[in-house]
Each structure stands twice: as structure tokens, then as C-alpha cells.
Amino acid sequence: MVPLQFDPGDQVVVRGDFPIGHFRTPVYVRGCRGVVVRYLGHFENPETLAYCLQTNLFALFKVRFRQQDLWDEYTGSAVDTIDLDLYENWLERG
């Protein structure tokens, strides 16, 4: 197996792309900074599976974001977070 690109605690940035088609990464986190919480395993890429195309295995990571970093007018606590499961092809070192 290929070594993992990220480890728990690593800071990452979600790719800021807005391609056309079926993409599992929510728009509201694209371009945002988060922290890898844990590795969840390797899975086939759902973005290509949606079109019944051959796909590769990608590492899936749980990534934590501060909610105040995601929404400009967030009025909750500064410690509120949200965790999302994101594939490695959407993450860059941050």
C-alpha cells in the first residue's frame, strides 16, 4: 500500500476547485483550512463511480473545521467544529 499523505494533526486545505459534475466535497469547505482527525481507509473514488467509470482507491480522512472559519456570520461558540470525511485528492498541505 502507498504511504499516507496525511497524518492526524496535519493541517490541510481543501482544494478550491469548482468542477462540473458529481462531486462529493461540499462547496462550503472548498478553499478552507482544517485539521486531519484520522484516516478512515482506502475506498474507490465515488466521483468516478457515479459515472460507472473505472476508478482508483483513495485514502479517506476525517477532517475537522472550525465553524467560524466556514461561515462569515457564524454566531456560535469559537470552539464549535464540524467533521467531514474527505478524500485525499481534495486535500493539500496547509
CATH number at residue 47: 2.30.30.50
| DSSP bridge partners of 33 | 13
Residue 4 CB contacts under 8 Å (≥ 6 apart), including other chains: 39, 59
Q: Is residue 36 part of a domain?
A: yes
The pTM for the full model equals 0.88
Q: Residue 22 pLDDT more than 70?
A: no
Q: What is the distance between the alpha carbons of residues 16 and 87, in angstroms, rounded to a whole number? A: 14
Mean pLDDT of all residues belonging to the chain: 89
Q: What is the distance between the alpha carbons of residues 68 and 16, in angstroms, rounded to a whole number? A: 18
Q: What percent of the chain has pLDDT over 70?
A: 93
For 55, phi then psi, to 5°, come to -140, 165
Q: How many domains does the chain have?
A: 1
Categorize the per-residue pLDDT at 1 as very low, low, confident or very high, splitting at 50, 70 and 90. low
Domain that holds residue 69: 11-15+29-93
Q: Residue 85 pLDDT more than 80?
A: yes
Q: How do residues 25-68 score in pLDDT, each as one tens digit?
A: 899 999 999 999 999 999 988 777 767 777 788 999 999 999 99
For 25, phi then psi, to 5°, come to -80, 120
